[in-house]
Amino acid sequence: MSPDRALSRRLKGERRRVALRSTLVQAVWNYDSLQAVGFGWAILPGLERIRPEPAERAQRLHAHLETFNANPYLATVAMGVTLRLEEEIARGAAGAERRLARLLRALRGSLGAIGDDLFWASWRPALGVAAALAALATGSVWPAVVYVLAWNALAQGVRAAGVRAGFAAGAGVARVLQDPFWAGARSGARLGGSFAAGAALGAGAAWATTGGGGWGGAAIFFALVALLWLAGARVGPRGRILPPALAFLVAVAVLGAIRHWTAGAWP
């Protein structure tokens, strides 16, 4: 059997269970150890196989309960890497424990940044804009259904594939993540999000000029404004002028009150 094939078969069932458990990686998210408890619980099936002796297993589990954080969908890559290096540690490989600790520290930053750009800053706004506009135009429940299916096809797919990819890369994962492909992917994802915002602006403007009006017109206007806000949040300076919620409440209260006052109709 080739080394690659042997590697892909190792801990196969356990890796599946790890991927499934990774759905709860944020269950005990807190300000001290972040995702560490969820991370430790998720990799337990693999540790159980690697370390049959409970006392040794508890010791290794404890080492993973200090601090961990990453994008929740990409955290599985770190889980795969951990299982691979835990095998080396169990075999007594020199420096493996230190290497794993260093790798996990590095992965926290890079998996967080890549995941945030791909999922939160691009894929979700793009899908959300498309679904919101489709829902406003049709009044149908189907855009919401497609939104959930499309999100999960990517996000849960990445989650499932992450353990396998991390396990296959092992300590080489740092080299993989330094590949220019990821910088390109992040840049492309940001462009995709901007393209979605622009497409929505065009669609909304077309609808408004061809006779949306009424309640629907107000809704599309609101959508356009929110998109402008979104574009501002991503392109402009990082410092806040006003917290969005406070700005919005102030605008509602002050301008609504002025309008009512000028209409001479205070209750």
Partner 1 sequence: MTGAEFGALTALGAVVFLDQWPAVQTMISRPIVVGPIVGAVLGAPTDGVLWGAVLETMALAVQPVGAARYPDAALAGLLGTAAALTGFHEGLFPAGWAVVVAVAAGAAGDAVGRLQRRWNGRTAAGVRARVAAGSLAAPGRGIAVALSRAAALGALQTAVGLAIVLAGVAILGSSAWAGWLDARALQVAAAGMAAVGGVRVLGLEGRRSAAAAAGALAGFALFAWGGP
- Chain positions 22 to 61 lying near partner 1, rule: CB under 8 A, are 23-24, 26-33, 36-38, 40-41, 44, 54-55, 57-58, 61
Please provide the DSSP assignment of 177-205 as one string.
HTSHHHHHHHHHHHHHHHHHHHHHHHHHH
Window 78-117: contact mask with partner 1 (x via CB under 8 A): ----------------------------------x---x-
Can residue 70 be called a binding residue for partner 1 (CB under 8 A)?
no
244 part of the interface to partner 1, by CB under 8 A:
yes
Nearest residue to 64 via CA among 84, 79, 48, 54:
79
Q: Where in 247-266 is the site for partner 1 (CB under 8 A)?
A: 247-252, 255-256, 259-260, 265
Nearest to 228 by CA among 260, 201, 256, 257: 201
x-marked contacts with partner 1 along 192-231 as a string, rule CB under 8 A: -----------------------xx-xx-xxx-xxxxxxx
CB of 145 to partner 1, least distance (A): 8
| Min CB(132)–partner 1 separation in Å | 4
With a CB cutoff of 8 Å and minimum separation 6, the contacts of 133 are 200, 203, 204, 220, 223
Residue 267 binding partner 1, by CB under 8 A:
yes
Query: CA-CA distance, 86 to 51, in Å (whole number)?
Result: 9
Residue 237 sits in the site that holds partner 1 (CB under 8 A): yes
d(CA 96, CA 89): 5
Rounded least distance, CB 71 to partner 1, Å: 10
Tell me: does residue 155 bind partner 1 (CB under 8 A).
yes
62 binds partner 1 (CB under 8 A): yes
- By CB under 8 A, the count of residues binding partner 1 is 85
Cα–Cα nearest to 201, from 147, 112, 257, 129:
129
Verify binding: residue 153, partner 1, rule CB under 8 A. no
Q: Does residue 237 sit in helix, strand or coil?
A: coil
Residue 92 or 236 with smaller CB distance to partner 1:
236
Shortest Å, Cβ 6 to partner 1: 28
Token pair, residue 57, equals: 């297993």
* Residue 197: other Cβ atoms inside 10 A: 20
Distance CA 118, CA 60 (A): 32
